[in-house]
Amino acid sequence: MLCAPAVIAMLAVTAYPIVYAIGLSVQQVDLRFPEEGGFVGLDNYTAVLGSQLWWTDFFNTVFIMVTTVAIELVLGMAIALVMHRAIFGRGVVRTSVLIPYGIITVVAAFAWQFAFSPDTGFVNNLPLISDEMDWFGGRFSSFAVIIMAEVWKTTPFMALLLLAGLVTIDNQLYEAAKVDGASAWQRFTRITLPLMKPAILVALLFRSLDAFRVFDTIFIMTRGAQDTESVSILGFNQLISRLNLGLGSAVSVLIFVCVFLIAFLFVKGFGTKLEEGRPGA
């Protein structure tokens, strides 16, 4: 009985809406033309899956997800090692790393946009970078800035999850390896990485699912211009900007299916006990 309120609150805004979304996705519902309507079967899905736009956006989302998570894994591991093993200043490092975590994503996106924008930014005045570089004028240069902002904002979370795995490794293993003459790199690849596999997988899963939902940064920086739209932006445009609830819901349901598949592949592929992991922020 103690759980009932929380369970109801969680189901009311997830399970019920997803059923509702599935319902909307098989109808023609466009709030601009309320008199038209009715059951259309899978027409909305064939329209979405048959469109170039969905596949471009899907590619963009997967591209951003894979790149950010890969960069974050390397950076996050480096930061976790500094936090764990630095002989001094650990407190300062842990505290400063939390700052990007606490900052509103929209605010972080503006900070990076201002830095790279040709009129307000300082980046183009740096050596080695052309003064004329129009970062938001091209697709992949836009992606570069979007990815940098995303990496900056979410690496702390990755680093902390990895740190939690690092602290569980018994220090005596390193001492023994040192005695046996293992180099620092060997100690890292032969002891740290294998023992941290569960922590790494949990961190990768949470960050991948989170990165697949990328919305805020793209909305602020390009609004999807230059073919930089993500699937979440597509869903938003259909649902809220165009008020086409039928098509938008089909996009929503497809995103849900993608997220479900990513989670399923992680669990099947790696077989870690993910109940021992914890939800991301």
Partner 1 sequence: MERGSRDYALWSIGIVLVLAFALLPVLWLISVSLKPPEAVTDGRFIPSEFSFDNYKSLFEGGIDDSPFIKPLINSIGIALITTVIAITLAAFTAYAIARLEFPGKRLILAGALAIAMFPPISTVGPLFDMWRALGLYDTWLGLIIPYLTFSLPLAIYVLVAFFREIPWELEQAAQVDGATPFQAFTKVIVPLAAPGVFTAAILVFIFAWNDFLFAISLTSSDASRTVPAALAFFTGESSFTQPTGSIAAAAVVVTVPIIVFVLFFQRRIVAGLTSGAVKG
Six token digits for residue 120: 């307000």
Q: Which of 52, 95, 130, 172 binds partner 1 (CB under 8 A)?
A: 95
CB of 272 to partner 1, least distance (A): 10
Sort 174 into a burial class: Cβ within 10 Å, 0-12 / 13-18 / 19+.
middle
Closest C-alpha to 113, from 83, 152, 78, 74: 152
> Could you tell me if 196 and 162 are in contact, meaning their C-beta atoms sit under 8 angstroms apart?
yes
Residue 17 and residue 70: Cα distance in Å, rounded?
A: 33
Return the residues of window 63-82 that contact partner 1 according to CB under 8 A.
Answer: 75, 78-79, 82
Could you say which residues in the range 117-156 bind partner 1, by CB under 8 A? 119-122, 124-125, 152, 155-156
**By CB under 8 A, is residue 105 in contact with partner 1?**
yes
The distance of closest approach from Cβ of residue 118 to partner 1 in the complex, given in angstroms and rounded to an integer, is 9
Residue 281 CA to chain centroid, in angstroms? 11
In whole angstroms, the minimum distance from the beta carbon of 189 to partner 1 comes to: 19
Q: CB of 26: closest distance to partner 1 in angstroms?
A: 13
**How far is it, in rounded angstroms, from Cα 45 to Cα 50?**
8
Of residues 237 through 266, those in contact with partner 1 by CB under 8 A are 239-240, 245, 248-249, 252-253, 255-256, 259, 263
- Lay out the site mask for partner 1 across 205-224 (x = CB under 8 A, - = otherwise): -x--x--xx-xx--xx----
Written as one letter, the residue type at 39 is F
